[in-house]
């Protein structure tokens, strides 16, 4: 804060980091409201509060967004210890309430008593749509297995449109480039994960996460489902729910004769790693991925079998092949290791070969000084270093997939 005037220093005290100010909860019991252990914060808030993720005009700002665990009925309240226009004339605080109201649907509570009254009715909430899969996860803290269920829903399910409006608000806090979808487009499918839990002898359901998938038309009579959004809520992350959800969705589409293959829109690195794990798990027992066939190299048989039986496209099948071949390869054997390295690098070198073809064209077309300028940008030694770096990173990622597979 060096170089600021005394007034600027005083005003700077009224800046709040919105990732810290926003407090989220998934409430099951009234006591959760006062339990700090049930609170979690956003990873991002720039889409609501700008790139700096700052709200100006408050000290001790708290933006409370509490959701009932199942139906996600919402309590929204703003608290602060001091506001800038109480201390300084002609200085306005940011309108935090309006910014939040832009993303949360109407009908939320603003006082705790109303929220607790809704919590008492939560026993009536049931998941939407069709049950696809049930699984359990052992909870060390509780010392018991907890049951989870995955449902497929659409906008024709009574109450689902309103529920989805509340659910999608979490995207703004946990997906960097999130945007809301057009729910009136019937080509969207929705897959939601719920936890079953007991409260006063009754079975209730808590929202765990969800995925949206858009069904693209492929001429003449096929569809290509594309995963658009996927989020497991922070209290449930690291428990394997993402893999369960993705595999369940994949198996749902595998059974459809009209589905060509399944893709994803702008997948994150974490999603790609998750997809690697799920697809390898699905593919490992196919005859075309037997150790003997893996050592013979990537084949059209693998492409056809993965596409026809599991709806996996060629690009993803190639990654599956490389991961399973790594498992079948003795990397301590010089010949096997060399063969694997060359096989993977032949795929990785594609972009570099394209640059070399462009360079050959330049030699024919450019003047010497222009050519020298372009050659400086295409350093072959650097390309070899980048290729080796890419290979080592890939092998590291592949090993993590295989480690997880061994524990599954």
pLDDT in tens, 146-167: 999 999 999 999 999 999 999 9
pLDDT at 238 over 90: yes
Given 265, 370, 385, 389, the catalytic residue? 265
pLDDT of 338 reads 96
CA 297 – CA 188 distance, rounded (Å): 38
**Is the dihedral angle over the CA atoms 389, 392, 396, 401 positive or is it negative?**
positive
pLDDT at 8 over 90: no
pLDDT of 313 reads 97
pLDDT of 357 reads 60
pLDDT at 308 over 90: yes
pLDDT of 247 reads 98
pLDDT of 311 reads 97
Q: Please enumerate, as own/partner, the contacts of 358-364 that have beta carbons within 8 Å and a separation of 24 or more.
A: none
pLDDT at 354 over 80: no
pLDDT confidence of 89, banded at 50, 70, 90? confident
Largest Cα–Cα separation, the chain: 83
pLDDT of 360 reads 59
pLDDT at 241 over 90: yes
Residues 6+ apart with CB under 8 A from 13: 59
CB atoms within 10 A of CB 368: 7
pLDDT of 323 reads 98
pLDDT at 366 over 80: no
pLDDT of 7 reads 79
Tokens of 108: 């939320």
Mean pLDDT in residue range 293-307: 97
- 97 has catalytic annotation: no
pLDDT at 303 over 70: yes
CA 295 – CA 325 distance, rounded (Å): 7
Mean pLDDT in residue range 233-252: 97
Peptide bond into 220 cis (omega under 30): yes
Q: What is the mean pLDDT of the chain?
A: 92
pLDDT confidence of 6, banded at 50, 70, 90? confident
pLDDT at 86 over 90: no
Mean pLDDT in residue range 345-354: 77
Considering the chain, what percentage of its residues have pLDDT values greater than 90? 83
Mean pLDDT in residue range 81-88: 83
pLDDT of 85 reads 81
pLDDT confidence of 371, banded at 50, 70, 90? low
pLDDT confidence of 351, banded at 50, 70, 90? low
Tokens of 192: 């939601």
| 370 vs 97: which has the higher pLDDT | 97
pLDDT at 304 over 90: yes
For 388, the enclosing helix (H) or strand (E) is: helix 380-407
List, for residues 208-224, the tens digit of each pLDDT value: 999 999 999 999 999 99
pLDDT confidence of 331, banded at 50, 70, 90? very high
- Specify whether the CB–CB gap between 178 and 171 falls below 8 A: yes
pLDDT of 143 reads 86
| 381 vs 149: which has the higher pLDDT | 149
pLDDT of 339 reads 96
Tokens of 355: 């640059």
pLDDT of 243 reads 98
pLDDT of 380 reads 62
pLDDT of 209 reads 98
pTM attached to this predicted model:
0.91
Mean pLDDT in residue range 78-99: 89
| 271 vs 2: which has the higher pLDDT | 271
pLDDT of 377 reads 54
């Amino acid at each position: 804060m060096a170089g600021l005037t005394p007034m600027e220093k005083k005003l700077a005290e009224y800046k709040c980091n919105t990732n810290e100010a926003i407090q989220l909860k998934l409430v099951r019991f009234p006591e959760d409201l006062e339990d700090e252990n049930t609170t979690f914060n956003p990873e991002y808030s720039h889409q609501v509060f700008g790139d700096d993720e700052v709200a100006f005009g408050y000290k001790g700002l708290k933006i409370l967004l509490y959701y009932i665990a199942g139906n996600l009925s919402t309590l929204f309240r703003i608290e602060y210890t001091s506001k800038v226009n109480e201390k300084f004339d002609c200085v306005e605080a940011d309108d935090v309430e309006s910014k939040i109201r832009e993303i949360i649907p109407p009908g939320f509570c603003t006082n705790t008593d109303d929220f607790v009254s809704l919590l008492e009715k939560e026993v009536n909430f049931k998941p939407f749509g069709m049950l696809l899969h049930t699984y359990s996860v052992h909870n060390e803290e509780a010392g018991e297995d907890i049951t989870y269920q995955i449902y497929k829903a659409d906008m024709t399910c009574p109450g689902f449109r309103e529920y989805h409006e509340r659910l999608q608000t979490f995207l703004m806090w946990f997906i960097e480039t999130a945007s809301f979808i057009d729910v009136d487009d019937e080509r969207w499918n929705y897959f939601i994960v719920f936890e079953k839990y007991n409260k006063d002898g009754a079975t209730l359901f808590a929202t765990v996460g969800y995925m949206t998938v858009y069904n693209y038309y492929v001429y003449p009579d096929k569809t290509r489902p594309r995963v658009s959004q996927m989020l497991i809520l922070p209290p449930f992350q690291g428990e394997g729910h993402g893999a369960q959800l993705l595999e369940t969705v994949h198996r749902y589409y595998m059974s459809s004769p009209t589905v060509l293959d399944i893709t994803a829109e702008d997948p994150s690195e974490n999603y790609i790693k998750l997809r690697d794990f799920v697809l390898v798990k699905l593919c490992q027992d196919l005859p075309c991925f037997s150790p003997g066939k893996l050592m013979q190299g990537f084949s059209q048989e693998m492409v056809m079998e993965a596409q026809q039986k599991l709806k996996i496209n060629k690009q993803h099948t190639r990654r599956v092949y490389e991961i399973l071949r790594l498992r079948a390869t003795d990397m301590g054997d010089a010949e096997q290791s060399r063969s694997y390295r060359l096989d993977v690098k032949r795929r990785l070198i594609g972009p570099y070969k394209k640059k070399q073809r462009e360079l050959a064209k330049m030699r024919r077309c450019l003047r010497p000084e222009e050519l020298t300028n372009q050659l400086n940008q295409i350093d072959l030694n650097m390309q070899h270093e980048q290729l080796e770096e890419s290979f080592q990173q890939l092998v590291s990622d592949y090993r993590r997939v295989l480690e997880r597979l061994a524990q599954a």
